[in-house]
Amino acid sequence: MPELKVYRHLPPRTLLIWRIVQALFWLIGVVILSCLLFFPALGIMLFWNILIPVAPALLVVSTGLWRNVCPLATTNLLPRRFGLSKKKKLTPKQSGVFSLIAIVALYVIVPLRHAVFNTNGPATAVLIITMVLAGGILGFFYEWKSAWCSGLCPIHPVEKLYGGNILTSLPNAHCSECANCMVPCPDSTPNIRPEASKKNLWFRMSGFLTTGGLPGFIWGWFHVPDNRFTGSLHELFMTYEIPFFALLVSLTIYGLLLANTEQKYEPKLSGFFAAAGVSCYYSYRIPALFGFGNLGADGLLIDLKGKFPEWGINLIIVATTTFFFYWLLVRTRNKNSWLIRPAFVKKTATVRNKLPV
Ligand code: SF4
């Protein structure tokens, strides 16, 4: 069994530093949201062409850092932080259903980037506000991260796929005490992966859809151009057609491999699909950001065509692919969890009782 790292309480100075960093990221989030609403071109550049392209690499190296500073998490955990939450716990079935809804939501929402969000700042802002409201409302009812951050958030399945072998465990800057609201807790379980919970069919379907489907889905997504949706059903079908077809192919390959893989090699298979997904993402996203994309100006940040050699871009793609396969597949799994579990509620109460007043 991997060693369970448990903190009693974060030292006040460490906690203060995390609160400052969280506040900074929260402010950055507010600025981006305001830009999306009032300066859409700038907002789209900041959100879709800077923040989102950085996110997958950050998740691979330090999922816990993102879990600690995500502005959405900081917002929707406020009810819990201020003692306004009913602190309910989800049943395993509810958790499993939430986890399945999260990956289905990801597959439904992401293709809509081509039809709407990539070119429409206010629509992207509405999407973010909807997520903030959904997470915030759930925060009034459910304990810590169980319902949103580790449940319905559509980014969470990606965190679990890419965050299987992170650099190091960071302190948990949100949960002040662990109420054991999620079992297994994705933040506190070493080398978590989408298939970590096999408790019920919902979790198993969610894990299968995430690991098996994401690489194909990503490949397919990069073969659909941005087009402003005019309301035609045919356009909508075209938006989903290639990503869903590639998702099915990827799922089939994964299913066949999984059926013929010994249980002890399943983490390696998961690592392979994670590396394939994130490598595929950067193989298309890096050229698109710098003007070498396969779909013209879609997803362009700075046009370097003619100023930077194309072989340089290809070299970067080889380097990122090599890095991700080394990091997620070849490197020994280091038994790090994203975050260090805070002391359990009960144990903390005992410790407190013993402290001099
Ligand atoms: S650390 Fe504990 S309280 Fe926080 S999300 Fe995980 S299980 Fe819940």
Write down the domain spans for the chain.
9-344
Task: Report pLDDT for 11.
Answer: 86
* Tens digit of pLDDT at every position of the chain (357 positions): 454 566 667 888 999 999 999 999 999 999 999 999 999 999 999 999 999 999 999 999 999 999 999 999 999 999 999 999 999 999 999 999 999 999 999 999 999 999 999 999 999 999 999 999 999 999 999 999 999 999 999 999 999 999 999 999 999 999 989 999 998 999 999 999 999 887 799 999 999 999 999 999 999 999 999 987 777 888 888 899 999 999 999 999 999 999 999 999 999 999 999 999 999 999 999 999 999 998 888 999 999 998 999 999 999 999 999 999 999 999 999 999 999 999 898 754 444 444 433
Instruction: Indicate which atom in ligand 1 lies nearest the CA of residue 181.
Output: 8
Q: Is the CB of 170 under 6 A from ligand 1?
A: no
3-state secondary structure the chain: CCCCCEECCCCHHHHHHHHHHHHHHHHHHHHHHHHHHHCHHHHHHHHHHHHHHHHHHHHHHHHHHHHHHCHHHHHHCHHHHCCCCCCECCCHHHHHHHHHHHHHHHHHHCCHHHHCHHHCHHHHHHHHHHHHHHHHHHHHHECCCCCHHHHHCCCHHHHHHHCCCCCCCEECCCCCCECCCCCCCCCCCCCCCCCCCCCCHHHHHHHHHHHHHHHHHHHHHCCCCCCCCCCCHHHHHHHHHHHHHHHHHHHHHHHHHHHCCCHHHHHHHHHHHHHHHHHHHHHHHHHHHCCCCCCCCCCCCCCCECCECHHHHHHHHHHHHHHHHHHHHHCCCCCCCCEEEECEHHHHHHHHHHCCC
Q: Report CA(49)–ligand 1 centroid distance (Å).
A: 32
Task: Report pLDDT for 114.
Answer: 94
The model's pTM: 0.92
Q: Report CA(206)–ligand 1 centroid distance (Å).
A: 20
Q: Is the CB of 149 under 6 A from ligand 1?
A: no
